[in-house]
Amino acid sequence: MSDKQPNQYLDESQHVGLVESLSYIHKDLFELENGQLDGFTLAYEAYGTLNEDGSNALLVCHALTGDHHAAGIRKDPRTEDLEQKPGWWNHVIGPGKAIDTNKFYVVCSNCLGACQGSTGPASLKPDQEEERYGMDFPEFTIHDMVHAQKKLLEHLGVQKLFAVVGGSMGGMQTLQWIVDYPSFVERGLVIAATPRHSAQTIAFNEVGRQAIRGDEAWNQGGYDTENGPTHGLGVARMMAHITYLSDLGMEKKFRQKPDCKQNEDLTKVVNSYLGYQAQKFIDRFDANTYLKLTSALDRFDLVGKRGLDDSLKGVLSKVLVIAFSSDWLYTPAQNQLVTESLHRLGKEASYLEIDHTHGHDSFLIGSEDFLRAVRVFFSGMDKKEEREQNLGRFRQVSSRYDVKKEADFKVIDEWVSKGQRVLDLGCGRGILLEYLRDSKQVQGLGVDFDRSKAISCIARGVSVYQQDIRHALANLPDDSFDWVIFSRMVEELPEPGAVILEALRVGKRVAVSFVNHAYWRNRLNFLRRGKRVQNEVYPHRWEQSGLRNHFSIEEFEQFCAESQGHGHSFEIGRKVFHQGDWVKHCTLMPNLRSGLAIYELIKA
């Protein structure tokens, strides 16, 4: 080590500290989807300690051009000096971090077929001293990568994975893991991935491959390592690099530089930035490996001929999919496909969309929401969060139903039976679903558009789809839930009638709770003052208020009757009316005397 300042990454209270690259050598014949290998090596790193029953292991999968150095600081193998930069996910993995090495035994391997120490196209053929695989290397797949990682984990004594996590190609490996080894993986965290490449993504990869193959130095893959197709590889990298960023992110990055006000100057800066990226890549990556790896990505296809649901039907893991708003390579919509398929199949799956301007590469960059989501998915709420959220927690207030916010929860709680499937539309922080799960082993799914609330659901262990209610409902099969719940949220929907009828398609029963706008105090108040009452239920004056769609018990029943008349087969079951205090029950003249109504609609 040199006599520099002590390296901050060596501080083991903050980081995983000094790490070294290890190798697992698999000596036996290894069957691939398209061919076989006469043994292979996987380079890997591991952080934290495997517990006695081998159940706290967490596998991290890297992206296309990443490697197994995910956290901590390494020595440069040539100089023995500490490297300048820590591993690529050092801000995520470490003691007390989102992936907590005090809790988890974290393993990251360079994937099979890559070129940072694992066996791939750039490796020497077995028992050869000079001849490399090159294009003779089999057309390996994401499945092969995962299969090889499984061998490594067995070697390390891992009995079961607490979780697999990865972004981009790492996310696809995660998907492959939960498909191939359902009972081995408890949780899967899929980040910025896709169940298959879109035509656009394939097209970009194809252009990159053509740039390499058209470079004369490529020589049908038979270049020698010192004289590879650097031009083609550089062009492929530069183009791909653009797809990892975003239009807005690039504007922010470059326009803030001095002397980049005019495009004439900006062009030079962009030119030199891309050239630098290309050179860094050429120095560390191999062209044939790039060809084979991008082909493996393009070939990855969980949709295929039989559809995504068929691929995912055996999944047993609890899944969280995280997408980034500005990711135009693996878009939020592509990520949603995974969650939606799992929901159709009745699996435990959640979806979050994190706001970030960095495009696809956002998963490599810390952001508060992202780190919180990762942490709570693996470790639940921390004590601070529990304190903050306890106030609103159903289990805390279940003896005080006078809290207006949850006045309808008691009724719904009574209606729902043990082990039923419940869809909560506008689920907020997941308080009701958490309670129903803990008290009645209900299988719940929440839908809420609010990211912060959705993350709180994850922290509670409640599955949530961060999505518009209409969009979420449209995905779900007929009769796939015992209950669909609208807890005081119909008022916030434009044209809510159609949504209620759609809920009746998805659920066997629908519970609708709403504020009865025809409550006598509202009427008198409006008669006298000509304006809406302002209280806990209507907290804002018109000029600060969001838009609403108030209705009354009578109007609701009229809607039900007319819908039935139009051929919608359901009937009104139980009804519960609360008085203006939302506590005492009300039986006489509810449209006049009731402040809160809760209806059960039963599909015929």
- Footprint of a copy of itself on 264-293 (CB under 8 A): 264, 266-267, 270-271, 274-275
Tell which one of 59, 73, 238, 397 touches a copy of itself (CB under 8 A).
238
Residue 34, interface with a copy of itself (CB under 8 A)?
no
Residue 128, interface with a copy of itself (CB under 8 A)?
no
Query: Using an 8 Å Cβ cutoff, are 168 and 194 in contact?
Result: no
* Residue 172: CB minimum distance to a copy of itself, A: 12
Which residue stretch of 41-49, 119-127, 156-164, 191-199 sits at the interface with a copy of itself (rule: CB under 8 A)?
191-199
Residue 565, interface with a copy of itself (CB under 8 A)?
no
Task: Please confirm, yes or no, whether 168 is among the known catalytic residues.
Answer: yes
Residue 545, interface with a copy of itself (CB under 8 A)?
yes
Residue 527, interface with a copy of itself (CB under 8 A)?
yes
For a copy of itself, the closer of residues 55 and 295 by Cβ is: 295
Residue 207, interface with a copy of itself (CB under 8 A)?
yes
Tell which one of 11, 12, 81, 247 touches a copy of itself (CB under 8 A).
247
For residues 329 to 348, the per-residue mask of contacts with a copy of itself, x marking binding by CB under 8 A and - elsewhere, is --x-----------------
For a copy of itself, the closer of residues 303 and 403 by Cβ is: 303
Residue 324 Ramachandran class (φ > 0 left, ψ -120 to 50 alpha, else beta): beta
* Residue 203: CB minimum distance to a copy of itself, A: 5
Tell which one of 216, 226, 368, 536 touches a copy of itself (CB under 8 A).
216
Return d(Cα 452, Cα 472) in angstroms, integer. Answer: 18
Beta bridge mates, 485:
424, 511
Quick one: which of 586, 427, 602 has its CA closest to 518? 586
Return d(Cα 137, Cα 263) in angstroms, integer. Answer: 44
Chain center to CA of 113: 26
Return d(Cα 5, Cα 15) in angstroms, integer. Answer: 17
Residue 546, interface with a copy of itself (CB under 8 A)?
yes
Counted residue by residue, the chain has a size of 604
Tell which one of 11, 154, 251, 478 touches a copy of itself (CB under 8 A).
251
* Residue 131: CB minimum distance to a copy of itself, A: 28
Tell which one of 15, 69, 147, 197 touches a copy of itself (CB under 8 A).
197
The single residue of 168, 311, 362, 487 carrying the catalytic annotation is: 168
Query: Using an 8 Å Cβ cutoff, are 478 and 503 in contact?
Result: no
> DSSP 3-state assignment of 106?
strand
Distances (CA, A) of 255 to 248, 263, 265, 414: 10, 9, 10, 59
Residue 145, interface with a copy of itself (CB under 8 A)?
no
Joined tokens for residue 50: 């495997």
Residue 231, interface with a copy of itself (CB under 8 A)?
yes
The single residue of 67, 144, 327, 413 carrying the catalytic annotation is: 327
Other Cβ atoms within 10 Å of 418 Cβ, number: 9
Task: Please confirm, yes or no, whether 283 is among the known catalytic residues.
Answer: no
- Count residues near a copy of itself (CB under 8 A): 85
* Residue 298: CB minimum distance to a copy of itself, A: 5
Q: Return the residues of window 473-512 that contact a copy of itself according to CB under 8 A.
A: 492-498, 500
Q: Which residues of 438-451 are buried (b: 16+ CB within 10 A; e: fewer)?
A: eebebbbbbbbeeb
Sign of CA dihedral 243, 245, 250, 253: negative
CA angle (586, 592, 594) in 5-degree steps: 35
- Residue at token pair 């390494």: 74
Task: Please confirm, yes or no, whether 327 is among the known catalytic residues.
Answer: yes
For a copy of itself, the closer of residues 16 and 212 by Cβ is: 212
Spell out the residues 6+ positions from residue 527 whose beta carbon is closer than 8 angstroms to its own: none
Other Cβ atoms within 10 Å of 222 Cβ, number: 11
- Residue at token pair 């029963």: 509
Beta bridge mates, 40:
26
Residue 533, interface with a copy of itself (CB under 8 A)?
no
* Residue 534: CB minimum distance to a copy of itself, A: 10
Give the catalytic positions in this structure.
Answer: 168, 327, 360
